[in-house]
Amino acid sequence: MTEKRQYRVFLLRLWQADGDDGALIWRAALEDARTNERHGFADLARLCAFLDEQTANWTGHDTHWPESES
């Protein structure tokens, strides 16, 4: 019996912007491919914190790997 693995699919957008001190910083946006829900992040640390929270609290309903055609 093959174990079904749970997964999430996001579209990740990254771009550089001017920070408050004039230095370039990375901004990010995630879009959930299933729900089209979008989240914006002022920096990469906030993006990582969001992903940590999502995976820690995720139940994974209806999000299994597709069956392979073998």
Mean of per-residue pLDDT scores for the chain: 84
Count of domains observed in the chain: 1
Cα gap 7→52, rounded to integer Å: 14
* Domain of 39, in residue numbers: 10-55
CA distances, 48 to each of 2, 10, 21, 43, 53 (Å): 30, 13, 23, 9, 9
What is the pLDDT at residue 48? 97
Kindly state whether residue 2 falls inside one of the protein's structural domains.
no
Q: What is the pLDDT of residue 57?
A: 78
Residue 61 belongs to some domain of the structure: no
1 falls within a domain: no
Is 1's pLDDT higher than 90? no
Give 59 or 67, the one with higher predicted confidence: 59
